[in-house]
Chain A
Amino acid sequence: MNAKELLERLELRGDVENGLISVRAERGVFPSLCTRLADEFALPLSLLFATDDRKGSATYGVHALFSLDASHEWLLVSTMLPQEDPRYESLTKTVMAAHWYERYAMDMFGIVAEGHPDGRRLVHHENVPLGTHPLRKDFAWDTRMDHADVPYPMAHVDGDGIYEIPVGPIHAGIIEPGHFRFNVAGERIITLEGKLFFTHKGVEKLLEGKTPAQALPFIERISGDMAASHALAFCQAVEAASGVSITRRAAQLRMLVHELERVTMHLHDIANMCGNGTGFTVMAAQGFRIKERLARLSDRVFGNRFWRGFVQPGGVAKDLTDAQLKDLRETASAAYADARELIDMGRHLDDLRERLETTGVLKRQAAVAYGALGLPARASGLDRDVRRDHPYAEYGTLPTEVVVETSGDVYARFEMRRRELAVSAGLIARILDSLEPGDISVSCQVKDGSALGAVESWRGELLAFTRFKDGLIDRCVVRDPSFCNWALFGELAPGNIVPDFPLCNKSLNLSYSGTDL
């Protein structure tokens, strides 16, 4: 069913703006309408966010974005809340995937989702005073706050022999801060809850009032290992808002760097899971060596190791010479051939496989309920991929095979990466074969209005919803897939033993920085 038929059935009228179909709903019917869309029509809730529209209409906006995968459309359901009483009935009660979004809006805007099953603060830790709502327009980005001591309670289990293991926020190794609270009976995990946002950077706030060109460096640094994907999602939003379409060559080059980023990080994850996660260190040593070749390739071609600085509004920053394209092709295919040999060796080792199988199972039902995204969702049987469901760049003409596994354990996520590597390596070769000569950039003048950019990063669906006013960013929502997937640990860890948790963690490899944006 496409959006038009859907809206006819619901007897609603939708407006189309920059490819986004939007529907207004009264705050009384907003939760029930969204619940119908999620339950009756099985539409995944992709994003829920708030806006501060007090200046124009004396209201706050709450917007829920649904994906119509089959017809490649997005449906945005919005409601307006009066500024003196920003309350609405919680959607989380019926659509669980909204749980963190609503808590986020409560912290950031002071918009209350009444009856939220878990009304605790999310982003604000103990030190942030009550009533601090940084994304409200009247909150200056450089406000100095008092040091408060508001409780931040976490899940706690009482009983004989139950004990609590606090891990982090500072970890061994060089990962970012995050606190994990385990309640265990012996080695068996009963509950696991994470506390994130230790290094919340306020990127959304900082982006406001900037031009797209000024905003891009911030976007690229939201999550260092996804620089190209974040830039791509944002640039697509900017281009949609400008009403321009980029040249074929630019689209092909974007897709190339997007897939190269995927190959780099899938290789990293396989090495990290199989090597460091299980102690089979050969995989780590060799896998990281192969990944390093790709990081250096990026350094040679783009001047940095993170596939950064290439994608920009209107196209790409520079054209690649034949020598550079040859380097890309040869280095990437040699690295992939090397990796395949290593991965095949690992696959045939019983003791390694034994560690991966049955560990950290994410059931399909849980993946749907939590709104799991990307690779972990596909490993649990959810057949969704933005590259096919909302084609961008050249994915429409070079369709990609969507890899799905069903067992939902760490092994399934390993297999996902192995198979997606093969798909991406094939795509890279096909792009390079079909690369067309032509311009690489078009000029891009943003018009007032909203637009959405969506890409399938190597972690999963990445969204950038951007609203422009007078050529400047009025609101930019960046939804890193990690934001939706962090809560999965509460579901997939219980039942496992504590020493297997690092393996579960590495099999998801979520971004702290992308969540603490």
Chain B
Amino acid sequence: MNPVILTLIQTAVVLALSPFALGCVRLFKARLQGRRGASPFQPYFAFATLLRKEMVISEGVSWVFRLTPYVVLASSLFLALVLPLVVRGGALGSLGDIFVTAGALAVGAIFLVFGGLDTGSAFGGMGSSREMTIASLLEPTIILVFATLALATGSTGLDGIVSAGLSVGSAPFLALTIAALALVALAENARYPADNPATHLELTMVHEAMILEYSGPYLAMLEYASTIKLSAFVLLIANLVFPATLVGTASSPAAVILAVGATLLKLVLGMGALALLESMISKMRFYRMQEYLTGAFFLALSGLALALIQHAV
């Protein structure tokens, strides 16, 4: 099948399913805690409502505030277009270099921080400062995870890494690397134990504090961007564990349909695991975050060390 069509299919699937994935994690959390919960389709209605709403924007903001939603949404779109989430060997797969991907994530994160600072409100600044603290502690782990994957597969592109068909069975260090990536993904997507996406307490927020001043369509864009990012991370981790579920250019239309079904399954299971985790633990004290992130770093470092040993032998 044509790589362009494959990329279009992947992007459409990820963009269409990610609000459902968010709805699923909320529903599962509610059910696990003994509440009835809203329908998993609720985020679609929420976005539609936000798009129709008027925006209230502080008079003191600069163009940065207005640019931020576009940049953040673009950085998430980049992930949906480029990473091997539903298919491998897509038309833009060669763009999915680990450094470019990390850069795209960073641009989105930095603009969110700028957007939070731009209004000059105390909460925005507080959220931005916390986001940068966490981001700077996350950075080394992200580099180690990607370095390990690149070393093991001989490719610096995520497409190539997933296509190499590495499995935990043949490369046990992958278990450590993927675990480190999962810890990174939780912090990067403002989930437990780093952040509580459901809280109304401004003083405890990280991600939500930065977007507190946004409303209407801008808020919809920012929230949509974070749902896409969450789905992309879940799918990427699932694909590293089960690389065989991806379809390539040589596949039949039936296989593509199967891969789309598998994507839905991966999202639902991934969100189920996330909901279970978030129902079992408390949010970590902010000044304990370095311990959590150091743990992730050592997991990644151990993965790299084992990969080097396996490589040498």
Contacts and interface: CB of A to CB of B under 8 A. Distances in A.
A355 B287 CA distance: 11
Contact of B122 (A165, A286, A289, A352): A165
Contact of A279 (B122, B199, B203, B287): B199
Nearest to A164: B122
A502 B285 contact: no
A281 B284 contact: no
B33 interface: yes
Contact of B282 (A186, A278, A498, A500): A278
Given A165-B126, A286-B33, A500 B196 contact: no
Nearest to B123: A165
B34 A279 contact: no
Most buried by A among B29, B193, B204: B204
A289 B30 CA distance: 13
A281 B279 contact: yes
B66 interface: no
Given A279-B282, A281-B33, A286-B33, A497 B287 contact: yes
B250 interface: no
Contacts of A163: 122, 125
Interface string B255-285: 0000000000000000000000011011111
Interface in A274-301: 276, 278-282, 285-286, 289
A42 B287 CA distance: 40
A187 B287 contact: yes
Contact of A502 (B193, B201, B281, B282): B201
B123 to A, nearest CB: 8
A172 B122 contact: no
A281 B198 contact: yes
A165 B209 CA distance: 13
A502 B203 contact: yes
A282 B279 contact: yes
Interface in A163-185: 163-167, 172-173
A281 B29 contact: yes
A71 B34 CA distance: 50
Contacts of B199: 276, 279
B288 to A, nearest CB: 8
Contacts of A282: 32-34, 279
Interface string A334-361: 0000000000000001011011000000
A163 B129 CA distance: 12
A501 B203 contact: yes
B202 interface: yes
A172 B122 CA distance: 15
B203 A499 contact: yes
Interface string A488-511: 000000000111111000000000
Contact of A167 (B202, B281, B283, B284): B202
A166 B122 contact: yes
A354 B285 CA distance: 8
Most buried by A among B193, B200, B201, B284: B201
A286 B34 contact: yes
A322 to B, nearest CB: 33
A498 B279 contact: no
A351 B287 contact: no
A49 to B, nearest CB: 34
Contacts of B123: 165
B99 interface: no
Contacts of B35: 285
Contacts of B20: none
Contacts of A355: 282-283, 285
A51 B104 CA distance: 69
A220 to B, nearest CB: 29
A279 B33 contact: no
Contacts of B285: 354-355, 497, 499-500
A186 B287 CA distance: 11
Interface string A64-76: 0000000000000
Contacts, number: 75
B204 A502 contact: yes
Contacts of A276: 199, 201
Nearest to A281: B33
A351 B282 contact: yes
B203 A289 contact: no
Interface string B109-142: 0000000000000110110011000000000000
Nearest to A180: B203
Contact of A278 (B34, B200, B283): B283
A459 B283 CA distance: 27
A289 B285 CA distance: 26
Given A187-B287, A351-B281, A498 B198 contact: no
A207 to B, nearest CB: 36
Contacts of A187: 130, 286-287
Contacts of A167: 122, 202-203
B65 interface: no
Nearest to A498: B203
A462 B295 CA distance: 49
Contacts of A501: 203
Nearest to B125: A163
B281 A280 contact: yes
B192 interface: yes
A18 to B, nearest CB: 46
A289 B201 contact: no
Contacts of B284: 351
A280 B204 contact: no
Contact of A289 (B34, B286, B287): B34
Nearest to B193: A351
Contact of A173 (B33, B200, B286): B200
Contact of A172 (B34, B196, B200): B200
A169 to B, nearest CB: 13
Interface string A197-219: 00000000000000000000000
B35 to A, nearest CB: 5
Interface in A350-382: 351-352, 354-355
A351 B285 CA distance: 9
A456 to B, nearest CB: 30
Interface string B197-235: 011111110000000000000000000000000000000
A279 B286 contact: no
Contacts of A165: 122-123, 126, 203
A278 to B, nearest CB: 4
A201 B288 CA distance: 43
Interface in A246-280: 276, 278-280
Given A163-B125, A187-B287, 9 more contacts: A173-B201, A276-B201, A279-B199, A281-B278, A286-B33, A351-B281, A352-B282, A354-B285, A497-B286
18 contacts: A163-B125, A165-B126, A167-B203, A172-B200, A172-B201, A173-B200, A173-B201, A187-B130, A187-B287, A279-B196, A279-B282, A281-B33, A282-B33, A286-B34, A349-B282, A352-B282, A498-B126, A498-B203
Of all A-B residue pairs in the complex, the 9 with the closest CB atoms, nearest first, are: A279-B283, A285-B33, A172-B200, A280-B282, A278-B282, A499-B204, A279-B196, A165-B122, A502-B201
